[in-house]
Every structure is written in C-alpha cells, then in structure tokens.
Amino acid sequence: MSPFAIPTILALDRTHEAVARVDDYYSSRLAFTRPKNSEDPRPLPDEFRNSRKLPDGDYDEPTVPYFAGSCFDTLEPENNTWDQITSSDLAALSLLSVPVGSDALVEFLHRRKDRISELLRAIPEDAVLWAPEDSPDDGRAEAMYPTLMAHRETPGWQLWNLRSGIDEGGRKVGFGSTRVSKLLHRKRPHLFPIWDSKVGEAVGAANSRRFWADLERALRENGLHEQLTTIRERSTHGKDLSLLRVFDVAVWHAQKYSSGWEPERTES
C-alpha cells in the first residue's frame, strides 16, 4: 500500500498559490456586456468571452460562475435537508461532472430513501472528520471518526457502501466512489471528503479504500488542519467552505492546471 502523501499544492511555501487557486475556482466571468440603460444584451467580443476583464467602454458587468462546480455547495440550499437525499442534491452532482442516471434516481429517491435517511439521522449535522478541541470547527471532532466512519457498523461506512454492493434482490447497486463521495460531502461537508481521480493522483492512492483514514490522520498529525485553515482564512471567496472542500478545490485545481497557470489570473 502506498503511503498517503500531502499534495504539494498544500505545502507551506505554496500557500499563496493555493489561496489564489481557491479564489480562482470561486470567481466569475463575464457572460455578456450590455450598454448601460439598454434592455438589449450585446454579446462580448470573442477575446473577452471567458475573461474576467471588461472591454473598454460604458458597460454593466453581468457575470456567471467561472466554474460551474463552485455552485455545488450552495445550489438550492432550501432543498439541501440534513436527513434526506433530494433531487437538488442529485442535480448538484452534475455541476461536478458526475451526473446521475435514471437507475440511481430511483435508488436514491425511492427504493433506498428511508434507509439513507435513517443513516443520515445517525450522523450529527455538524459532524467533522477531525479538528483540535479549541477549533471553531467543533471540539467534539476527535471522537467522530471512530464513532461515525471507522468500521463496517458505523453509519458513515454504511452510507459509503452506496458506492458498491448488491441489494437484497441480488442486483448490483453501486454508484462509484467519486459520485457517492460528492453526494455525501454535500450532506456533511465537514465529515465526508470528496474523492476523485485528481485527488487520488495528488495523494498517491490508486483507490479510495483508505482515503478517509489517511486524511483524518493527516489532519490530526501532519499539520494539514492548520494549513487548510490558513488557506481558508486568507481566501477571498472560500471563507465559508469546510476545510475538506478547501482541500478538494485546491488539489483539484492544481492537478487540473498543473502548468502554465499564474496566480495573477485571479485579478478582476
């Protein structure tokens, strides 16, 4: 088994870059321009279509998110109930490039709805993977990993098993580690980390089998909690994120744009 590696983007000497990447992810781009006092939108010239800078002239500045995934955390918050998987939760997965098919819709919203809600109710809404006792992220945190996620009888483990397995009728009902981790993160953003291929590359893991345990240990022993807290505090757009989402966004952005990206790109 390969050792868990702290992603290089989270090294202390790259803090400024990590902050810039988080802010870039949550930035906006100009959708079109409109002369002031006009009802008719005027399309942007091509060279400005994906730019954060407005061409010269007297324009309003209508914007849309630069990355659709930046809306994942806040899409229809009134429908993000703490003890149910809702259609809004499943729609949010599309923003992170993992849309849900018809079979999964039936499983989550009908066949397995009650069991999923039962397991979610067994997990406190503010549960965290780990945080020191004096952390604003909750002093109860140290006991939460072993209680909620560490073995097969815990509710977190059983929810995680949505990623694979066979139901009572012998049908395969797995939805994959990436899709399930993102869905559970939306329900408990301080407890369930997001797993995908970009994260796997960054931490040196081929699969998600030990990701929870290894990340919890890194938060507890390797100074990762403090570094993620620093990145969040220095970020302009990420101050309301969970530390696990800060981890995910910084790592994903660094893996996706590993070369040729400059922090100055975040300037508006």
Mean pLDDT over each residue of the chain, to the nearest integer: 80
Instruction: Please give the residue that has the higher pLDDT: either 206 or 217.
Output: 217
pTM (predicted TM-score):
0.82
Instruction: Give 40's DSSP letter.
Output: S
What is the DSSP track for 98-145?
Answer: ----HHHHHIIIIITHHHHHHHHHTS-TT--S---TT-TT-TTGGGHH
260 Rama class: left (phi>0) / alpha (psi -120 to 50) / beta: left
- The tens digit of pLDDT for each residue in 73-86 reads 999 988 888 999 99
The tokens for 250 are: 């910084």
Q: For residues 45 and 61, give the distance between their C-alpha atoms in angstroms, rounded to a whole number.
A: 14
Q: In this structure, are residues 71 and 186 in contact, taking their beta carbons and an 8 Å threshold? A: no
Looking at the predicted structure, is the pLDDT value of residue 170 above 70? no
Q: Are 160 and 218 in contact (CB under 8 A)?
A: no
C-alpha to C-alpha distances, 43 to 50, 52, 58, 133, 245, nearest whole angstrom: 12, 15, 14, 53, 34
Helix (H) or strand (E) holding 177, with range, is: helix 177-187
Tens-place pLDDT, residues 21-54: 999 999 876 665 455 555 554 554 555 555 555 5
Residue 228, pLDDT above cutoff 90: yes
- Domain borders along the chain are 8-27+99-259
| Cα 82 to Cα 7, 189, 251, distances in angstroms | 31, 11, 27
